[in-house]
Amino acid sequence: MPLNEKLTNLGANTQIDALSALIDGGFMDIYDGIQPSDADTPIGSQVLLASLGLSNPAFVPGVGGVALANAIAPDASADATGTATWYRIYRGDHITPVMDGSVGTVDANLILTSVSVQAGASVSVESWSLTARKTG
């Protein structure tokens, strides 16, 4: 029999709110290179381009299984020059990873104004949201 699990809006909102609570006051590190196969995989040769602090709370409460990020302070001085391709989110200790995602200017988990990052330049987030899967 196929998997056919479906969440209600309450279930999806509860799921996304629990995830967002893990990263309240956390950090978003933006990298170049290939995104690891999962968020438990240690960073390899990818270069850290920028690190941004998340708000506390990081997200507004979920609606319809989607939570929109609160303001994210820009990194006023990027660490390195490169093309942003993925990000990793850490808890407030900036050690414990929680999730990874894609970076782009459209059709990505994290939307930046530009994926071209220059060392010493400011890096700002255009938009970021979390979405719970409502169907299995």
The tokens for 97 are: 């990873």
For the chain, how big is the Rg over CA atoms in Å?
15
- The answer to whether 31 and 49 have CB atoms below 8 angstroms apart is yes
| pLDDT at residue 105 greater than cutoff 70 | yes
Identify the pLDDT of residue 4.
80
Identify the pLDDT of residue 38.
94
Residue 94: inside a domain: yes
What band does 127 get if pLDDT is binned at 50, 70 and 90? very high
Identify the pLDDT of residue 1.
62
Helix (H) or strand (E) holding 27: strand 27-31
Identify the pLDDT of residue 136.
60
Residue 58: inside a domain: yes
Number of domains in the chain: 1
| pLDDT at residue 118 greater than cutoff 90 | yes
Could you give the CA distance from residue 59 to residue 24 in angstroms, rounded to a whole number?
Answer: 8
Identify the pLDDT of residue 3.
75
Residue 75: inside a domain: yes
Residue 46: inside a domain: no
Which residues constitute the domain of residue 96?
Answer: 9-37+53-131
Residue 110: inside a domain: yes
What's the whole-model pTM score? 0.92
Residue 114: inside a domain: yes
Q: Are strands 110-112 and 97-104 parallel, antiparallel or unpaired?
A: parallel
- From the list 29, 13, 21, the residue with the least C-alpha distance to 58 is 21
| pLDDT at residue 30 greater than cutoff 80 | yes
Which residues, 6 or more positions from 106, have their beta carbon under 8 angstroms from its beta carbon? none
Residue 91: inside a domain: yes
Could you give the CA distance from residue 134 to residue 11 in angstroms, rounded to a whole number?
Answer: 8
Residue 69: inside a domain: yes
Identify the pLDDT of residue 133.
80
